Amino acid sequence: MSQLKNILQDMKRGYSIVSDGYRKVKNIAEGNFSLHEVFLDGLMVVSPEVKKYRRVADIISAQKAIVSEYRKSFKRLASADVLGSGELEYISRVYAGIFQGSMDNLDELAMVITSSRLRMDDQQRLEAIDRVFQDISGKLEFLRAFNRDASVLLELRKREAAGVKSVQDLFGN
């Protein structure tokens, strides 16, 4: 009976960690970035080497950049009035895919740095954190390249619209 009680307590503690982690990740997605609150609770039970690993902060910074950059860029693209609804829908789907992938990265990070979730030694945890960092960095690089391409398209469309307007003005239409 005592073992069952211990198992149930461990399950409850694990559920609390996961619930709290999801709440904090949601706050990150909404722009409430607080590295201290997000992961230090889970790191309390992980070795100091993992706790202080710089890639954890780098991952959070990359997530913050992804959210900030895609919001800013989408707002600019949507307000320009030169892209069609199909194009904006496509852009929105690309951003949603990048964002969901980055949230998956944060879920994986939370699992890795919370010792009760996975049985890993410190080296395995550091390697897993490095993999998450590489993946989220790739997403950020892709987002930036996509935003550059979308900006070029936006400028071309603006020039095209200005050219059409000039021709209309010239011919009195």
Domain spans, the chain: 2-170
Q: How confident is the model at residue 147 (pLDDT cuts 50, 70, 90)?
A: very high
The CA distance from 113 to 129, in Å, is: 8
How far are the Cα atoms of 4, 156, 160 from residue 163, in angstroms, in the given order?
75, 10, 5
- Predicted local distance difference test score (pLDDT) of residue 153: 92
Distance separating alpha carbons of residues 126 and 77, to the nearest angstrom:
38
pLDDT at residue 94 tops 70: yes
**Which one is predicted more confidently, 138 or 86?**
138
Span 32-59, pLDDT tens digits? 555 445 555 554 456 778 878 899 989 9
- Summarize the confidence of residues 75-92 as an average pLDDT: 88
